[in-house]
Amino acid sequence: MKKVLNKSVLAMFFLCNCSSMHAQDIQDATMLEWLYGNAVGKVVGSIATSSSLWSKVVGVYAGSFLSKSSIKSFIEKYHVDMSDALIQDISKYKSLNDFFIRKLKPGARRFDQSDVLCSPADSRLLVIDNAFDSVEFPIKGTKVSIENMVADPYITTRFNGGTIFVFRLSPQDYHRFHMPLDGYLSAAKKLGTRYDSVSPTAYQMGKQPLEHNERHLIMGTTKQGPQFIIMPVGALSVGKIKELFEPDTFLKKGDEIGYFLFGGSTVVLIFPPKMLKVRADILDNSSKGIETVVRAGDRVADLN
């Protein structure tokens, strides 16, 4: 039986930096519905999502000079805002990947330096508070397990009942991610082998990319001692997750810690119970399965 998408969930997200909120269609939902719901699409999807081959092929093209001609059409298709880009002349980019990991002008993203948690990336945010194992995900009909995400029962025990932040990056977004608070990070531990889309459509079609996709588990420690988790997650057509930090060295809030090459992607943050208080509007939106648009540096929670 074909699974029907919950259009009310897929059709909207909130723009929290505007004076009023707007609805916007999530792009490419129809293609993903075909990929996961159509008989032929499932065959194509099994090749594209169960092996790194497809991502490697896309990565080779996106990193080559042949892809340079695609930059203009990419900007037009996804309405990419270039006003903050450090290099605005698209002829200066060597490839689509070079454009995709573009840097921004100094000061384009300002991180709140008070005792708050900041968004690590330009993204669409869902939050699960009081997250015990196999908790209901904000997208109807799906669940997410901390233990399956981190693949470590000991870590799971320490974070059960905590808060999960899911920052989903879309193609038009700035694809570098930053330190959300002051602290130290461990070396990344690679997990997972799949490359499913991280779009809400994929969850609606029964996929769980946070548990099965290639992802990097990074343990963080704040200046005060409590630990947290940063987990960048690869996705359909993503060739690489690249970390830029030195493990076990002090990092300031806002320091750049990595980037994603071409494709959609996600950054997950997990905090232990009672460590922070999430912004009320974000919790309210998330409870309805609605993503809140945030930019790197935006306050998303207050630290207790």
* Residues recognised as catalytic: 122, 178, 265
Contact 55, 234 (CB under 8 A): yes
Cα dihedral sign, 299-101-285-213: negative
Q: Which are the contacts of 36, defined by CB distance < 8 A and separation ≥ 6?
A: 42, 45, 201, 202, 205, 206, 207
Q: Which of 216, 211, 180, 217 has the alpha carbon at shortest distance from 198?
A: 211
Cα separations (Å) of 113 from 117, 228, 233, 270, 299? Answer: 9, 18, 26, 20, 10
The count of other CB atoms within 10 Å of the CB of residue 14 is 22
In the structure encoding, which two tokens stand for residue 229, read together? 């988790």
Contact 293, 124 (CB under 8 A): yes
Return d(Cα 188, Cα 247) in angstroms, integer. 8
Contact 121, 267 (CB under 8 A): yes
Instruction: Give DSSP secondary structure letters for 254-296.
Output: T-EEEEE-SS-EEEEEEE-TTSEEE-HHHHHHHHTT-EEEE-T
Helix, strand, coil % over all residues of the chain, rounded to 5 = 30, 25, 45
